[in-house]
Amino acid sequence: MQEPREFRLDIGDIELAGIEWPGNGDPILLLHATGFHSHCWKQVVKQLPGRHIYAVDLRFHGASDSHGAVDWRLMTDDVCQLIEKLDLKQIVGAGHSIGGHLMARAAARMPERFKHVVLIDPVIMSAQRYAEFHTFSAGLKASDHPVSRRKNQWRDAQEMYERFCGRKPFNTWQPEVLRDYCDYALLPTGENALYPLACDPINEAGIYLNQIGNEIVLEELSSIVTPVTLLRAAPSDGAEPDLSTSPTWPGLAAALPNCREIYLPELNHFIPMQKPELVAHHIMAAYDHA
């Protein structure tokens, strides 16, 4: 595999950052989960030698710009603009969590650009769950969400790694993935020898809370004519859900015109972090799908 290169792409009101691994064949596009960044895909990419791969930092994440509204529609627009600017065709797109939601909406808008879509525990909920969430979140501010109170000043990546490696859900990850996350999770400049998270906790909390209008994805599912592979983890058992349980509507596969579902109840929401080789296997199966 050729050496990767980091890039920045002007898509209008912001620049998106990412990593490109030069290679052969149709492009693979990777979108990460809320709070993370493109480098979290490195252990998956290691299992895909010789392929032409792009992993992108979403708006508010990693090295991408962080201004503008916290709005999933706007973030979908970003992905579509990036695809057009790079002129990607015959894409095998893989998205995890919010990345899966955004990838699905991009595939609904631009079916001619996609060859196959791999949705990894995407944040695509049932109509009932969206309605419940709107009721729950009405009047809440980002600062009300517990994620907003995450530690946001760190000495370095090693301090992060040591803090997280024994804590849920990070203790379910492969150590190499956690190291990749920590090594690129901080902004390069800070104050008093402390460095803030690249994904500000207020922005991260705002993304979790800002679900108004996201139910439109349910109306767009019928437009996703591209073949889909859906990897789904176990849902909440009825107790208070946390970020490790699956947010994916169990009826999603049946609502998609051409979907193969892989149910993984032994795994949690962080499938690419737990089993990067499994995710790579399904991406390659999608890549080879006629």
pLDDT of residue 290: 53
pLDDT of residue 236: 76
Q: What is the mean pLDDT of residues 147-156?
A: 93
pLDDT of residue 15: 97
Q: What is the mean pLDDT of residues 279-290?
A: 91
pLDDT of residue 138: 78
For 5-135+213-288, which CATH superfamily applies?
Answer: Alpha/Beta hydrolase fold, catalytic domain (3.40.50.1820)
Q: Answer left, alpha or beta for residue 68, where phi above 0 means left and psi between -120 and 50 means alpha.
A: left
Beta-carbon-side half-sphere exposure of residue 45 (alpha carbons within 13 Å) = 27
Measured from the Cβ of residue 96, the count of other Cβ atoms closer than 10 Å reads: 30
* Chain segment 257-281, per-residue pLDDT in tens: 999 999 999 999 999 999 999 999 9
In DSSP terms, which residues pair with 231 in a beta bridge? 120, 262
* Chain segment 170-205, per-residue pLDDT in tens: 999 999 999 999 999 999 886 778 999 999 999 999
Asked whether the beta carbons of 118 and 97 are under 8 A apart, the reply is no
Asked whether the beta carbons of 61 and 86 are under 8 A apart, the reply is no
Measured in degrees and rounded to the nearest 5, phi and psi for residue 39 equal -70, -15
pLDDT tops 90 at residue 7: yes
Nearest Cα neighbor of 72 from 269, 202, 213 is: 213
The DSSP letter of residue 58 is: P
Q: How far is residue 264's CA from residue 262's CA, in Å, rounded to a whole number?
A: 6
Is there a cis peptide before residue 169, judged by omega within 30 degrees of 0?
Answer: yes
* Chain segment 51-82, per-residue pLDDT in tens: 999 999 999 999 999 988 899 999 999 999 99
